[in-house]
Amino acid sequence: MRLLLVEDDKGLRDGLTQALHGAGYAVDTADNGIDAEALGHVEPYDAVILDLGLPRRSGLDVLRAWRSRANKVPVIILTARGAWHEKVDGFQAGCDDYLAKPFHVEELLARLAALLRRSSGQAGAAVTVGELALDEERQTVTTAGGTTHSLTGTEFRLLRYFMLNAGKLLSKSRLTEHVYEYDDDRDSNVIEVYVNRLRQKLGREWIETRRGQGYIFRNPVP
Amino acid sequence: MSLQRRLGLGIGASLALVLLAVWVAVGWSTRRLSEDYVASRLEHDAESLLAALTLTPTPTLNTEAVSAVYRRPYSGHYYTVATGSLVLRSRSLWDETLNLATAGEARTARLTGPRDQTLLIYARRYTRDGVPVDIAVAEDLAPMERSIDEFQRALGLILLVAVLLVLAGTRLGIRQGLAPLDRLRHEVDRIERGEAAGLPSGAPAEVAPLVEAINRLLRLTAQRMARSRTALGDLAHALKTPLALILQTADDPASATAAPARARLRSEAERIHALIERELSRARVAGAAGPGQRFRPADDVPALLEVIRGLYADRHLAIAQSVPARSYAVDREDMLELLGNLLDNAAKWAHGRLRVSVADAPDLRLCVEDDGPGCSGDELAQITGRGVRLDETVPGSGLGLSIVRAIVDGYGGTLTLSRSEALGGLRVEVGFPAHPG
């Protein structure tokens, strides 16, 4: 899952980036409204964490600009403006969740995970596909037999993206875009390596290869 | 004393005085003119009598030559002609005499004649062929005075009507002249109710400076209020980002700071946050709707419910609403803050159903109900106290209610907590005193 974090306070931005990395997200950051809007238009983010009091362009304007171009990326507003009429403004501008500062990092992570699950059509409090259950906090996966496998950071990110987009044909480049950050060295061949590692842990049948097109993650026992 | 009465009294009194003087003067001069006219007629009659007089052999009057009115008894027209010891009297005198001392010089006088008639008498000594002839001619003034009196009565009536008309006209004029002030008062009422931000221009020249002064004052007040609100808000909001950073440090288990110190840091940061929120919301409570927006439940409540549904997206809350279409003269932001906190609280506790209703019967009443566990009687009494938290495990529940309380107090409203009949959980009802409009 690749996120855009828009926050002008450097201390908070760095701290949050670290916490989000820790939770297995790829994070791009922007510290002003203009850059944020441009990034949001171009990059295929899975979610955006948006501060409202931004230099150069207010967060609400950025959000409205995205929505007016039918960009439906899930957005959590993270702002010091916590009055209810401001929340109303935020939701009317098109945000999906709203968290007032100061906040606990766990709450942000919980809300972010819930938002991603909702936006991929997953109901409930955990990401599941068939018998497969992903524990986002511990970054582990439990298979049908009840065996729990721990996952490395990249494995976790890749598997979560697969599980939240189950049944869809995902190209290597799309997987790269959503698993890695903007600045990372993107080598799509690395994806093959991680897909193989996941197959070893889950079983080959979960991830189908479409030659020249990409991968489909699906429940082998429908 | 009203302006209208003061102006009316002044104009009425001076007008009545002037018209009274006119009435007296007209009466006097009419009387005077009429008497002069009668006197000159009498003089002519005297000269006719002199012409009709034959001295030799005995003084006789050719009565055919004088007017017939002198021959009708007590007709009110009389004469006496005296020459030497002989006195010729008009037949109209019958057996009365005119008591007149003829003094030679021509003169007019009033005297009481036969049958108590008020006579104007003209007497003059003429000389005819060396013989002195005293002629006196008199006429009853009563018929003339009667018509003068009648005229004066009619004049008096006309003048009285004129005074009344002028008074009524003045009253109307004043009322119309003061109408802009009355409209101004209605406009000020509208500002108070929050329906207008300022007074409309286009008042008459006399009132325009007042309108402008009031508008200036309103702008100044609004600016000052906005400035102090903004300054306080900016400070509070600026404090929140560093506070978030402190909390983040306190939350970070990988931090080098020891766990007890982090717990302390966290609790103090939360206390600062609570203080900021409380002061912020207190500053936000505007009281009666100033230049702010009016509360329109039909628009604002659904928008607020969108927020609640968004914030509790995983809970699939069923929220029923009943709101009227009209708007209220209370600040929209205050009402959103109030209802937001109540709904937030209800959503935290509810199992799945909420109900929000806005009604005016006759006051504005906001009511939020849930199907949660509700509260016991003791808790209900305690919960309305400032910042009391009943359950520390549900964050923010105490602060929300203290903000609600601050807003309710700001409007002089009432806060009632009870058990919801319909849903079984807590029912919070807020009532605001009747607001015009």
Three-class SS of B68-136 = HHHCCCCCCEEEEEEECCEEEECHHHCCCCCCCCCCCCCEEEEEECHHHCEEEEEEEEEEECCEEEEEE
pLDDT for B282 equals 66
pLDDT digits (tens, 9 = 90+) for B290-307: 556 788 899 999 999 999
Q: Exposed, middle or buried: residue B433 (CB in 10 Å: 0-12, 13-18, 19+)?
A: exposed
For residue B103, name the pLDDT band (cuts at 50, 70, 90): low
- Mutation choice for A interface testing from B241, B281, B404 by most A CBs within 10 A: B241
Q: What confidence category does residue B25 fall into, taking pLDDT thresholds of 50, 70 and 90?
A: very high
Beta bridge partners of B429: B367, B416
Please give the average per-residue pLDDT across B121-134, as a whole number. 86
- C-alpha B162/C-alpha B11 separation (Å) is 13
Asked if B394 is an interface residue toward chain A (Cβ–Cβ < 8 A), one would say no
Q: Binning pLDDT at 50, 70 and 90, where does residue B394 land?
A: very low
Percent of chain B beyond pLDDT 70? Answer: 88
Best mutation target, A75, A87, A118, to test chain B (most B CBs within 10 A): A87
Q: What are the sequence ranges of the domains in chain A?
A: 2-119, 127-217
The reply to whether residue B241 touches residue A15, judged by beta carbons under 8 angstroms, is no
Q: Which fold has domain A127-217?
A: Arc Repressor Mutant, subunit A (1.10.10)
By Cβ distance, the residue of B273, B311, B336 closest to A102 is: B273
- pLDDT, one tens digit per residue, over B339-363 is 999 999 889 888 989 999 998 777 7
| Residue pointed to by tokens 């189908």 | A208
Q: How far is B369 from chain A (nearest CA, A)?
A: 19
Averaged pLDDT, B119-133? 86
* pLDDT band per the 50, 70, 90 thresholds, residue A184: low
More confident site: A47 or A192: A47
* Confidence band, pLDDT 50/70/90 cuts, at residue B284: low
- B311 interfaces chain A, CB cutoff of 8 Å: yes
Is CATH 3.30.750.24 the classification given to domain A2-119?
A: no
Query: Given this model, what pLDDT does residue A62 score?
Result: 95
**Phi/psi-derived region of residue B226, left when phi > 0, alpha when psi is between -120 and 50, beta in every other case:** alpha
Test B244 with A103 for CB contact under 8 angstroms. Answer: yes
* pLDDT band, residue B398 (cuts 50/70/90): low
Nearest CA to CA, how far is A88 from chain B (Å)?
Answer: 6
Q: Which of A17, A84, A95, A106 to mutate to test the interface with B (most CBs of B within 10 A)?
A: A84
Average confidence (pLDDT) over B235-241: 83
pLDDT given for residue B303 in this prediction: 93
pLDDT level of residue B101 (50, 70, 90 thresholds):
low
- pLDDT at res. B285: 63
Round to whole Å and give the CA distance between B229 and B233. 6
At residue B386, the pLDDT reads 43
Quote the pLDDT of residue B389: 43
The shares of helix, strand and coil residues in chain B, as percent rounded to the nearest 5, are 55, 20, 25
For chain A, the average pLDDT equals 88
- Give the mean model confidence (pLDDT) for residues A28-36: 93
Residue B418 near residue B376 (C-beta atoms within 8 A): no
Mutate to test the interface with B, among A85, A111, A120 (most CBs of B within 10 A): A85
Alpha-carbon distance of B404 to B40, in angstroms, equals 102
Q: What is the model's pLDDT at position B418?
A: 85
With residue A85 as reference, give the H or E element that holds it. helix A84-93
pLDDT at position B236? 80
Could you state, in order of their start, the residue ranges of all structural domains in chain B? 3-146, 289-437
At residue B390, the pLDDT reads 42
Interface touch B249/A9, C-beta < 8 Å: no
pLDDT at B377: 66
Grade residue B437 by pLDDT with cuts at 50, 70 and 90.
Answer: very low
Q: Say what the pLDDT of residue B423 is.
A: 85
Question: What's the CA gap between B272 and B422, in Å, rounded?
Answer: 39
What share of chain B has pLDDT > 90, as a percent? Answer: 16
Q: Which of A19, A85, A114 sits opposite B333 (nearest CB)?
A: A85
Give the three-class secondary structure for B412: coil
Q: Looking at the predicted structure, is the pLDDT value of residue B29 above 70?
A: yes
Sign of torsion, CA B190 B321 A75 A26?
A: positive
For B51-78, the pLDDT digits (tens) are 888 887 788 888 777 888 888 888 888 8
User: Which CATH superfamily does the domain covering B289-437 fall into?
Assistant: Histidine kinase-like ATPase, C-terminal domain (3.30.565.10)
In Å, how far are B95, B220, B222 from B228, measured between CA atoms? 111, 12, 10
In the predicted model, what is the mean pLDDT of residues B390-402? 52
- Average pLDDT of the residues in A44-54: 92
pTM: 0.61
Say yes or no: B247 contacts chain A, CB-CB below 8 A. Answer: yes
Q: B219 to chain A nearest CA, in Å?
A: 24
Cα B415 to Cα A85, B80, B359, B362, B388: the distances in Å are 21, 110, 15, 16, 15
- Is B337 within 8 Å of A85 when comparing Cβ atoms? yes
What is the tens place of the pLDDT at every residue in A126-157?
788 888 888 887 888 888 788 888 888 888 88
Å from B213 to nearest chain A CA? 33
From chain A, the residues in CB contact with B366 under 8 A are none
User: Mean pLDDT across chain B, nearest whole number?
Assistant: 82
